[in-house]
Structure 1
Amino acid sequence: MSAIDGKQVATHGLFALCMGAVAALASIVLCLCVTAVYNLYLAHWWLIFLLPALGCLSLWLYHRAQLPLDMSTRHVVDSIRSDRPVSPLLAPGILAGTCLSILGGASVGKEAGALQMGASLGNVVGRPFKLKPVHAADMGEPMDGYAAATGMAATFAALFFAPLGSMMFVLELSRYKRSVVKHGASILLACFVAYAIAKTVGIGDIIPTVAAPALSWKLVGECLIIGVLGALGGALFSKGVDGLQQLTRRISRNYYIWVIAGGVIVMALTLAFGWAEYGGTGGNLLAMALAGTQPTWGFLLKAGFTILALGLWFKGGEIMPTFTIGALLGASCIVVTGGEAPYSAAIGLVAFFTAESRCPVAAFLMGCEIFGWQFAPFFAIAVATSFAFGRDVGMYGRGAYSAMRTFSRRAFVRRANPAVAAEAEAVANAAEGAVRRAERQGEDDGRQQEHRLRAAETFVSAKLSEYYALTSRLEGALEQLHHGGADQPGGPKESK
């Protein structure tokens, strides 16, 4: 067991206390600002005419702050996974962008904005502490990802009053990154500090609770049905957002065009059909679903508006809209199950979030912390079902468990055919390096940035073709290992 640096233990503890306090303050400010602008939108319906202009203003603010115009929570999660620092200007940028989007009636949430704010503040707060690994054997390991993860988890804990689920959410998002897991105690401390402050003040996302029924086989069946439908809905939602973003990127990287188009579409639909209630975070619809008074097919409208807003590059988050869509979907399932709408809404919320995020343990813990631990048996069934039937890729890329399977498979292939495995990894690393270089140089404007990104895409496409060819060779090596070379003590011969 490696030696532990006592000085660094104290430093990380102090960092966690400070980070928890800052994260709680950030969460409170975010809640107050978003609540104010949403009430303003509800009071003045004509603000929806400003949605295209407000979307352009948020992009302009990102440009002035030298932030990528397509910055999203997935980018921040990727920065944690690869230990890249998060810009300190992202915290005010996402706060302003989220408020502007909601002021105009876009269907976005503030919770993923809280994640981005927390990651940005984590790097800012951690800088004076000059954090180093607690374990002496890990000295020299970068700590930017850990600092951002601590801020992200603490802000989320303050927002949802869910410290356990928030910590687990970050662990799963980081794919159990070594530096994050090894400093899990300080992350948990920051989460509880932020939770205690926010809970004392009483400002956060207070989700109504519902009564938990007695466990029965009928309710188990309902959990299974809602879990399967939640998996399907979460997969389609994630694919819809990602697909629309990829499509718009391929057509044009002028994001101003897309927010104008998205603003006009949302404005036209809202005014034509009176769908103003489907804008904003969706907290009102979530409360209706948990009270059993929701519109039957409202989840389709909320999902459509959210896909339009996020897919066409409005700033804001996806988590509260995801909760709302899941709850509306779960409540609508009573048409099939004949169950109680409030209970079904709670199950649907957790199942949909599982499929959308690919973070099952976090979804289970957050569900229990929000609705009560008496729901644990129901949530366990729904989460397991949704995760099993869901798509392997969620809003934040492949989940932790998919990555773990990939790593174990790579290790197996290295033993089976080291030469081909090394060649494939070199190709994959070259492609990844090209993308990172393009991102680092992405601060330039205009045609230079466009040409650089297109060149990187061309390079990556060529490398992917090589990688797929090498993958076929690896598959051949595996087949040989399992069939032709099983009896050979030296393993299979190298495939041609």
Structure 2
Amino acid sequence: MNYREKIRNQLIFTGLAIPLGIAAGSIAALFGRILLYIGNIRDEYVYFLLPFLGAVGVFILWSYQKFGDRSSKGMALLFEAGHGSKETIPLRLIPFVIIGTWLTHLFGGSAGREGVAVQIGGALGHTLGRRFSIESGEKILLLTGMAAGFSGLFRTPLAATFFALEVLTVGVLEYKALLPALTAAFTASYISGALGLEKFSYVLSKNFSFSPSLLFKILFLGFLFGIMGRLFSYFLHRTKKLFSEKLKNPLLRILIAGTAIGLFSLLCFQGRYSGLGTNLISMSLNEGIYSWDFAFKFLFTVLTLSAGFQGGEVTPLFSIGATFGAFLASLLGLPIAFSAALGYAAVFGSASNTLLAPILIGAEVFGPEMLPYFIAVCGLAYICNGNLSIYPLQKKKK
């Protein structure tokens, strides 16, 4: 391919990124706003909803088996397509993953939302890419759609772009998709904001000064956050395997596990650990957590996702990281909100085995003046995660 062809293709991809961003941002806004409303309903009627999580899980899984085609593979479809599989990503994945996640959250599952948004954008992008006979078009538009979906939901376009570019293969950035991914991410963020989806942000007050002691504490936090992300990835994979070995019937598995999760969630502070975990993030930044919150959110999220419920891992990882950071702050003599913010980004980075995305999401959510601290803590967390990832199909650079 000569230089002119490369420029032409980049212009085509960037032009297609705009309608792709509009579509992904619109769907993400609808999904996100309804999800927040569903969370409020669940919190109001926990005693009437949480005991039926297992029964609802059976309905979700049966629907996937009966009508979902290959949609039940979820994020795995995106990784397979990104690594060169010729299989299509069915567009029916979009309504299935949206409705499945809404039901999971309504009845008290501890799950995220980014997996849904990334799948929405990825399915749209991959479908669009298959309609154009351009070299690498399917992969570039898949990544562009993934960035658009992430950005449309979280409204952090820089983090969304680099998450899409680095998540498929560790240590490799797909620079061919950079310009279209950025275009789609900013478009999706603008569209979802215009449709009323608010961005979460928190301005950290820098009531401390840099010192060698502070640097040591930040690096120590990075080590601990890296271990926490590693443990989450490890136990998520091990628990999924254990559930599948002990309860081979997936419908029976989700019924038993879901019912147990719902009932235990009621016993643990009336659903405090259900849903996204944004309640815990808010309390972490405002000094309102219990010292055990990170452990319980960790446990309920691993169990929910291992049982087969829909959602994602990232927002619960934000919650686990923030609560763990707030817990460690008192032990290390650090400002609680500052330590919670570092954990918010670094545990996500460790568990997803990504580096640039968590650094940028820290800067976009908590302010660019904190960028040096996020670079230090996320960098060490990335090194200390042992190359494990919540995404089993993520490739390792040889």
TM category (shorter chain) comes to over 0.9
- Conservation of the 8 A alpha-carbon contact between 2:21 and 2:185: yes
Report the CA distance shift for 1:340/1:177 in structure 2 as closer, same or farther (over 3 A): closer
| Percent identical residues | 26
Query: What does residue 238 of structure 1 align with?
Result: 233
- Conservation of the 8 A alpha-carbon contact between 2:68 and 2:93: no
Task: State which drifts further: 164-173 or 389-398.
Answer: 389-398
TM-score, normalisation: structure 1: 0.75
User: What runs of 5+ residues in structure 2 fail to find an aligned partner?
Assistant: none
Query: What does residue 214 of structure 1 align with?
Result: 209
Query: What does residue 144 of structure 2 align with?
Result: 150
Distance 2:95 2:276 in 1: 19
Distance 1:62 1:384 in 2: 39
Query: What does residue 301 of structure 1 align with?
Result: 296
Query: What does residue 164 of structure 2 align with?
Result: 170
**Equivalent position amino acid for 1:151 in 2:** G
TM-score, normalisation: structure 2: 0.92
Query: What does residue 332 of structure 1 align with?
Result: 327
Report the CA distance shift for 1:183/1:360 in structure 2 as closer, same or farther (over 3 A): closer
1:202 Cα offset (Å):
4.2
Task: State which drifts further: 145-154 or 321-330.
Answer: 145-154
1:386 Cα offset (Å):
0.7
**Equivalent position amino acid for 2:141 in 1:** A
- Conservation of the 8 A alpha-carbon contact between 1:358 and 1:398: no
Cα deviations by residue, 1:439-471 (Å, 9 ceiling, x for unpaired): xxxxxxxxxxxxxxxxxxxxxxxxxxxxxxxxx
**Equivalent position amino acid for 2:376 in 1:** I
Distance 2:42 2:290 in 1: 22
Query: What does residue 474 of structure 1 align with?
Result: none
- Conservation of the 8 A alpha-carbon contact between 1:109 and 1:319: yes
Report the CA distance shift for 1:398/1:332 in structure 2 as closer, same or farther (over 3 A): farther
Match of 1:54 among 53, 56, 64: 56
1:146 Cα offset (Å):
2.4
Distance 2:58 2:139 in 1: 31
Query: What does residue 264 of structure 1 align with?
Result: 259
Query: What does residue 27 of structure 1 align with?
Result: 28
Cα deviations by residue, 1:18-68 (Å, 9 ceiling, x for unpaired): 001011101101112211211111111211122111111111221233334
Query: What does residue 279 of structure 2 align with?
Result: 284
Report the CA distance shift for 1:270/1:351 in structure 2 as closer, same or farther (over 3 A): same
**Equivalent position amino acid for 2:212 in 1:** W
State which structure, 1 or 2, has the greater radius of gyration over its C-alpha atoms: 1
- Conservation of the 8 A alpha-carbon contact between 2:74 and 2:93: no
1:216 Cα offset (Å):
2.6
- Conservation of the 8 A alpha-carbon contact between 1:31 and 1:204: no
- Conservation of the 8 A alpha-carbon contact between 2:51 and 2:263: no
Report the CA distance shift for 1:53/1:399 in structure 2 as closer, same or farther (over 3 A): closer
- Conservation of the 8 A alpha-carbon contact between 2:121 and 2:149: yes
Distance 1:75 1:246 in 2: 19
1:304 Cα offset (Å):
0.4
Cα deviations by residue, 1:329-356 (Å, 9 ceiling, x for unpaired): 0110023201111000001111111210
Task: State which drifts further: 264-273 or 106-115.
Answer: 264-273
Query: What does residue 451 of structure 1 align with?
Result: none
Distance 1:378 1:243 in 2: 32
- Conservation of the 8 A alpha-carbon contact between 1:108 and 1:321: yes
Match of 2:190 among 193, 196, 200: 196
Query: What does residue 112 of structure 1 align with?
Result: 115
1:180 Cα offset (Å):
4.5
Query: What does residue 65 of structure 2 align with?
Result: 63
Distance 2:365 2:129 in 1: 29
- Conservation of the 8 A alpha-carbon contact between 1:108 and 1:315: yes
Report the CA distance shift for 1:7/1:373 in structure 2 as closer, same or farther (over 3 A): closer
1:181 Cα offset (Å):
2.8
**Alignment RMSD (CA, Å):** 2.2
Distance 1:3 1:178 in 2: 23
- Conservation of the 8 A alpha-carbon contact between 1:146 and 1:179: no
Distance 1:76 1:275 in 2: 36
1:297 Cα offset (Å):
1.6
1:266 Cα offset (Å):
1.1
Distance 2:67 2:139 in 1: 21
Distance 1:258 1:338 in 2: 44
Distance 2:393 2:92 in 1: 27
Report the CA distance shift for 1:177/1:349 in structure 2 as closer, same or farther (over 3 A): closer
Distance 2:246 2:377 in 1: 39
Query: What does residue 4 of structure 1 align with?
Result: 4
- Conservation of the 8 A alpha-carbon contact between 1:145 and 1:180: no
Distance 1:372 1:49 in 2: 40
- Conservation of the 8 A alpha-carbon contact between 2:38 and 2:105: yes
Report the CA distance shift for 1:63/1:193 in structure 2 as closer, same or farther (over 3 A): same
1:308 Cα offset (Å):
0.6
1:127 Cα offset (Å):
4.7
Distance 1:236 1:9 in 2: 40
